[in-house]
Every structure is written in structure tokens, then in C-alpha cells.
Amino acid sequence: MAVLPILHYPDPRLHTVAKPVAEINQKIKQLVSDMAQTMYEAPGIGLAATQVNAHVQVIVIDLSDERNQLQVFINPEITWASEEKKVWQEGCLSVPDFYDEVLRPSEVKVRALDIDGKSFEIHADGLMAVCIQHEMDHLKGKVFVEYLSSLKRMRIAGKLKKKSKAGEI
């Protein structure tokens, strides 16, 4: 396992659309392992492969307090989303130290493959629904700040560029 470097907004690579995983081989399993370690070290609750410059449809999530309930979503797709929406305060490992409110469907059903290539479907609500949608946005080349006003995005990008030049991220 290795901790991978996380891309930071406004890095243009964050806007790359991820390709479906054709085969769950050792390379993909190693990516999942490295992504999990990276997420735990950061620390975060979710990470998409796009954030570590691997442009394949892989997401890892762990909402447990003990950090021992890793969930892997390969080639995830939302099969249903509720009409009811809810605002959540979101943050992102690619946008360190910035949080803002995003309106999303309050519930979703997601179909994906697990690490062994078995298809599964889950019905998620609350934080899990938000996390899945947030990470799936990354796979589509979208960062949560794109839900914010252009003025907020410009401020965040400017502050992150300064932090990067100062070696703070």
C-alpha cells in the first residue's frame, strides 16, 4: 500500500472524465488499496480515482468512526435519485480547508461492482448518499465547488494556488 498524491483544485486533471474499468485485475486492486490508505491518511471519508490522477471509475468510501468499513464502488451508476433534495455542508480532499453547502438528492440507489467484480446495489440516504454523489461527480470531472458561484470558485482557486506555492498543500 502507498499514499498517493492528491490533486488539488484548480488542477485541470480533476476535470478528466474517468473511463469504466474493463477488468478488475491486480492493478485495479492495488489502486483500491492505495486509494484506501490515501483516504485514511488524509483523513477523508471518500476518494475517487480521479483525485489521485487515475482516470478510471473507482471510488472508496468509509463512513465508520473506526475506519474499518471500507466500501469499494467500481463502475458505479446511479439508478435512481429521489426528487426530494437536501443541503449538506461538503468538503473535499482536493479542495482542502474549504467547505460549503451543496443541494443534492437526499436518497439514491447505486449499482456498482465490488473488489471481486460482483455486482451489487445499495440504497443510500444521508451522508452516504451525499458522499456517493460527491465522489461520482469526480468521476465525471466535476468538483463540488462547481456548484458554487463563480466568485466563490475564483476565490477558492486563488487561495489554493497561494497555499500550493507556499508549500502548504
Q: Which residues are annotated as a binding site for Fe cation?
A: 92, 134, 138
Neighbours of 140 (CB within 10 A): 13
At residue 70, what is the residue type?
A: L
What is d(CA 160, CA 95) in angstroms, rounded to the nearest whole number? 8
Give the H/E segment covering residue 86. Answer: strand 85-92
User: Cα 2 from chain centroid?
Assistant: 18
What is d(CA 143, CA 128) in angstroms, rounded to the nearest whole number? 17
Residues making up the binding site: 92, 134, 138
Give the SS3 label for residue 43. coil
- Virtual CA dihedral for 143, 103, 46, 122, nearest 10 degrees? -130
Q: Which three cell numbers stand for residue 147?
A: 456548484
Q: Catalytic annotation on 77?
A: no
What letter does residue 118 receive in the DSSP assignment?
A: -
User: Cα 7 from chain centroid?
Assistant: 12
Which is catalytic among the residues 84, 107, 135, 168? 135
Catalytic residues: 135
